[in-house]
């Protein structure tokens, strides 16, 4: 059970979902949030993430960090998208396991579902058809993270 004194790492705390998590946790009295921006912690750097986990020893991890960028960025730089997102996910998931965090929440995205998934989407639709080509690299990285967890 998360207590207000629990050490909680929110990777991606400046993004849309991460910032909402920070607000809600603070509203509920959680004050031991581990929040690091990109200049303080490069989540793509395995050694930096390992040092952070060794020093801070988070008990709970919310993995909301991701390199997005929209249709144009995802279409024109797919290698950058898949590489960056998979590095971040692998580093945080591996260190969470290694340091035995109590719970880790990995956030996916609706784009991980096939382009023509039945609506409303159902978890059973995952990997049942072709992805939207404009964000395929991002979606594949997210799917790999789900499988890793």
Q: What is the C-alpha separation between 45 and 22, in angstroms, rounded?
A: 24
- Among the listed residues 60, 99, 116, 138, the single catalytic one is 138
Q: Look up 138 and say whether it is catalytic.
A: yes
How many alpha carbons fall within 13 Å on the CB side of residue 137?
22
* Sign of the four-CA dihedral 102, 21, 84, 7: negative
- List of long-range contacts for 132-137, beta carbons under 8 Å, 24+ apart: 133/75, 134/71, 134/74, 134/75, 135/71, 135/74, 135/75, 135/111, 136/74, 136/78, 137/74, 137/78, 137/79, 137/81, 137/82
Our separate counts of H helices and E strands in the chain read 5, 4
Catalytic site positions: 138
């Amino acid at each position: 059970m998360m207590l207000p004194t629990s050490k909680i790492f929110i990777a991606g705390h400046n993004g849309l979902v991460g910032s909402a998590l920070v607000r809600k946790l603070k509203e509920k009295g959680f004050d031991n949030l581990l929040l690091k921006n990109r200049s303080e912690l490069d989540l793509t750097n395995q050694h930096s993430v390992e040092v952070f986990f060794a020093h801070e020893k988070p008990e709970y991890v919310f993995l909301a960090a991701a390199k997005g960028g929209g249709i144009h960025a995802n279409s024109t730089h797919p290698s950058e998208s898949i590489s960056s997102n998979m590095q971040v996910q692998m580093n945080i998931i591996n260190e969470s396991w290694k340091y035995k965090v109590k719970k880790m929440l990995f956030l996916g995205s609706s784009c991980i579902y096939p382009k023509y998934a039945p609506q409303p989407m159902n978890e059973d639709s995952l990997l049942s058809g072709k992805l939207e080509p404009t964000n395929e690299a991002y979606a594949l990285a997210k799917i790999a993270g789900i499988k890793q967890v």
